[in-house]
A and B are shown apart, each in its own frame.
Chain A
Amino acid sequence: MTEPLLKVEDLNVTFTNYGRTRQVLRDVAFTVAAGERVALIGETGSGKSVTAKAVIGTLPKNAAITSGAIVIDGRDVLSMPRREREALKGTAFSLIMQDPLSSFNPVFKIGTHLDDVMRFADKRDGINSSKAERRNRIAAVLRRVQLADTERVMNAYPSELSGGMRQRVLIGLALLHQPKLLIADEPGTALDVTTQDEILNLINQLVAEENMALLMITHNLGVVRKVADRVVVMHHGDIVETGPCTQILHSPAEDYTRSLLDAVPPLYGPRVTDLEQSTRQPIITIEGLNKIYGRRNGYHAVRDVNLTLKQGEVFGLAGESGSGKTSVARMIMGLSRPTSGNLVIDAPAPARGKRLTQIVYQNPGTSLNPKRTVKQTLALPLKSIGMDGPARENRMQELMGLVRLPQSYLGKYPHELSGGQKQRVAIARALAAEPKILILDEPTAALDVSVQKTVIDLLLQLREELGLTYLMISHDLSLMRNFCSRIAIMLRGEIVEEGVTSAVFAEPAHPYTRALIAAIPVVTDEEEHLKPTVTEEERMRFLVKSTDL
């Protein structure tokens, strides 16, 4: 039995903040063998990132490794002197991080990064190469990661390339350097799902061709299924269970793993919930809506969009970045003026200070003013609808009850709340002035999947209780499958497909819809089989190519 490439044994880590110490990792142990693909999965606070940092050697100053061992390539890393540990960073493993933009030095060209890495890789192998020679080899590598216009890429600065291209270059760097272990920290999270799919495929291919080992850190079970041979599940600093990928995903032994799997919204199969259709009148009708940003040769964000929003329904507007879905929503909200087209609102004008539509933002971390307490944030809309002292107090208590938060939270600041709690406050704020329509802008994208479930359930209950209509903007089709009654898919400003959710998913007509659904990383094999097919030619025509700007 050969020695594994990476062995973590009984690792215990504590963090000390403001004089208080807490245990962050408890007896964490796992291995990664040569050529093996291991996924470390967990939600926020699970300790997966801390574990990765411990292995890489980038734990912050206030962290302490109280016991345990990390053995890389047979050497105990923790007992090494600092210099040796630092040197290890260049030889034992390579890193691909979340945000491809921040992985490059912005003031140097891509070509410079690539050439330097290649130059030192050659030195390490004892090869003497010329600049021209290296250039050719770099071009070859770039082509292997499907970047055809190699000259352009090499002469570009990082900020000039798209996210997908940058991610590919990072993979290219790995090909140049050829590490034994590749550590990938949530790669592709910052990218569109179709791009992410391509990147994951590329990583798989690379790891297989070069016989590299892969340690992938992620929160997405679908990604795990796509990329891992073995899975390590973490929760609150403990390892909950480990095992081969198929076993964990199909017959998990622990409750926590089961709850994690349950919380993932299914794309197909018996667990899918269909929301009932609304039979009521349309509350908003849009015809021929257009939005062009900028003056001459402006950016045409929305092209001839028609849609109706029926009272009481949950309408989903799906698309990737740049599809125009946010622009449409903002026009419906009245935050931006259409360049042309009709927007008809069929509802009585709201009373003084009240609005028909309100919005719940994507990122609860930035949608609440960090210097205002929950109470102050909620008081604002109540004041503008004319409520005074006692009436306001009552209403605030009511709102907190509606979003199932304890009254004591009124005095708290956002930094004292978790992501899910902050999102509930945002929902309470949106509901405070009694809107009829709620725009949900990727409301759970920033939340863990288990928290997502509770927030979605809350939203559904509120819709019942208060008779609201929802317009949901998202790129997460599995969520929308279970949450929206009707759905429209947008691509580059146009609606390419629209209809009742179950119908659209069962028989997606437009190639883009099919490509979009096919790119979603699902958790079970059955779902994978039920996904629609899309030909290569269609893919080329409709997908935003991640190999070009």
Chain B
Amino acid sequence: MQQHPLIAILNRLGTFALVMIALSIMIFVLARVVPGDPARMALGPAATQEQVDALRGQMGLDKPLAVQYLDYIGKALHGDLGFSLVSQRPVTTDLAQTVPATVELVLVSVIFMFLVAIPLGVITAHYRDRPLDHIGRILSLTGVTIPSFLFAITLQLLAARFLSGWPIIGRLDHSLGWHGGPTGFILIDGMLAGRFDVVLDALKHLALPAFALSMAGIGQITRITRSSMIENQRKDHVLTLQSFGLPERVIIFRYLLKLSSIAPLTIMGLEFASLIGNAFVIEMVFAWGGFASYGLNAILQKDLNAVTAVVLVAGLFFIVANLIVDVLISIIDPRLRRKEAR
């Protein structure tokens, strides 16, 4: 008995909403349990107590926690995430500037990850226990074990030493005179505006950070793809199809590949967690200016609203990514769409 796909989606959205609510409560409480007075920190030690109290009142810090939370949620649903004490602007503005940078970086990394890891996994599985496999496995092991900050710094070092002129900091060469576009994604905006020099430059800037960010994921996905391919190769259906005359390449590239893509996709969901975490490091090393570095700063400065917003956005991003992954998997695997009648 098939469950109607619409119902499955609604189910997931429901869980998603519940998780977001729970998450927001947790973050909200956490951010406000901070020792030290945010208002005092913002105004500095020279400010008078009245000024501090006034700011506290303005920030609503004197109200009970539950009320603060509801206020916050109410405003958030209208797009108002509060005021950043550090940048002196609405948090939403800050986010609008910084989020696209991080999302662009993460997306490019993910694409790169899959483009490299899946073929690598298939190749190492096919040439199992032969030299190509050993090289591939060492590469993926390196990806998994190397600390992302070390890799990022090493890349910068190597680029500075051997690729003189290659950009190692920031998103774009400011001398190109680019002032941003509608989406905030330089690659898209640049193409829309026909400025291919900008697009090229942005890609050069993206190369090193995206590579560094994708390294751990490449390692994991290669390994999982490899073991999935090897495991599935042993299954009965491969032998059956072989015995009914299907050539090996059809079996590998059509039947096995689709089946073996389920495992890496599942891992991808979890990988996003470390991806977002590593984004903080990469952004810091490459001075990327995305919302991860914004968040880092906010945490250090105890910028209340900014911290809450950043954490919520990170959580949201993670949940949405997982949702997409779940949907993709259920498209591939029909067994997951079944709901037992009993």
Query: What residues of chain A have their CB less than 8 Å away from a CB belonging to chain B?
Result: 56, 58, 86, 89-91, 93-97, 99, 102-108, 113, 116-117, 120-121, 124, 157, 159-160, 170, 173-174, 176-177, 179, 183, 293-294, 298-299
Contacts and interface: CB of A to CB of B under 8 A. Distances in A.
B236 A97 contact: yes
A177 B239 CA distance: 15
A170 B243 CA distance: 11
A160 B335 CA distance: 9
A117 B236 contact: no
A160 B241 CA distance: 19
Interface string B269-308: 0000000000000000000000000000000000000000
Interface of B: 235-237, 239-248, 250, 254-255, 258-259, 262, 332-335, 338, 341-342
A103 B240 contact: yes
Nearest to B242: A89
Contacts of B250: 116, 120
B249 to A, nearest CB: 11
Contacts of B247: 90, 120
Q: What are the 5 A-B residue pairs with the smallest beta carbon separation, nearest first? A: A90-B245, A95-B243, A102-B236, A157-B334, A103-B240
A102 B245 contact: no
A179 B250 CA distance: 19
A177 B342 CA distance: 38
Nearest to A108: B255
Given A95-B240, A113-B241, A293-B342, A107 B332 contact: yes
Contacts of B236: 97, 99, 102-103
Contact of A105 (B243, B245, B255): B255
A93 B342 CA distance: 40
Nearest to B337: A157
Contacts of B246: 90, 116-117, 120
Contact of B240 (A86, A124, A170): A170
A105 B242 contact: no
Contact of B245 (A96, A97, A117, A294): A117
B244 A105 contact: no
Contacts of A96: 240
Given A105-B259, A173-B240, 11 more contacts: A56-B243, A89-B242, A93-B243, A94-B244, A97-B236, A97-B239, A97-B240, A104-B237, A105-B241, A107-B334, A174-B244
Contacts of A91: 245
Nearest to B236: A102
* Residue from A113, A124, A299 whose CB has the most chain B CB atoms within 10 Å: A113
B240 A121 contact: no
Contacts of A97: 236, 239-240
Contact of A103 (B237, B248, B333, B334): B237
A125 B140 CA distance: 44
B239 A120 contact: no
B27 to A, nearest CB: 38
B237 A107 contact: no
Nearest to A58: B239
Contacts of B248: 86
Contacts of B240: 95-97, 103-104, 170, 173
A38 B202 CA distance: 70
Contacts of A90: 242-247
B235 to A, nearest CB: 6
Contacts of A99: 236
Contacts of B333: 106-107
Nearest to B334: A157
A310 to B, nearest CB: 33
B334 A56 contact: no
Contacts of B239: 56, 58, 89, 95, 97
A102 B335 CA distance: 13
Nearest to B260: A107
* Residue from A90, A294, A298 whose CB has the most chain B CB atoms within 10 Å: A90
Contacts of A120: 245-247, 250
B341 to A, nearest CB: 7
A89 B259 CA distance: 22
A60 to B, nearest CB: 10
B178 to A, nearest CB: 45
A43 to B, nearest CB: 22
Contacts of A117: 241, 244-246
Given A95-B240, A159-B334, A107 B259 contact: yes
Nearest to A178: B245
A173 B255 CA distance: 17
A107 B258 contact: yes
A176 B244 CA distance: 9
Contacts of A183: 243
A106 B237 CA distance: 9
Contacts of B237: 102-105
Contacts of A179: 243-244
A53 B241 CA distance: 16
A514 B236 CA distance: 36
A121 B245 contact: yes
A484 B273 CA distance: 60
A104 B239 CA distance: 10
Contacts of B338: 159-160
Contacts of A56: 239, 243
B286 to A, nearest CB: 39
Contacts of B258: 105, 107-108
A174 B241 CA distance: 11
A122 B245 CA distance: 10
Contacts of B259: 105-107
Contacts of A293: 342
6 contacts: A91-B245, A93-B243, A96-B240, A107-B334, A117-B241, A173-B244
A102 B262 CA distance: 17
Contacts of A95: 239-240, 243
B335 A106 contact: yes
A299 B341 contact: yes
A429 B337 CA distance: 41
A102 B332 CA distance: 17
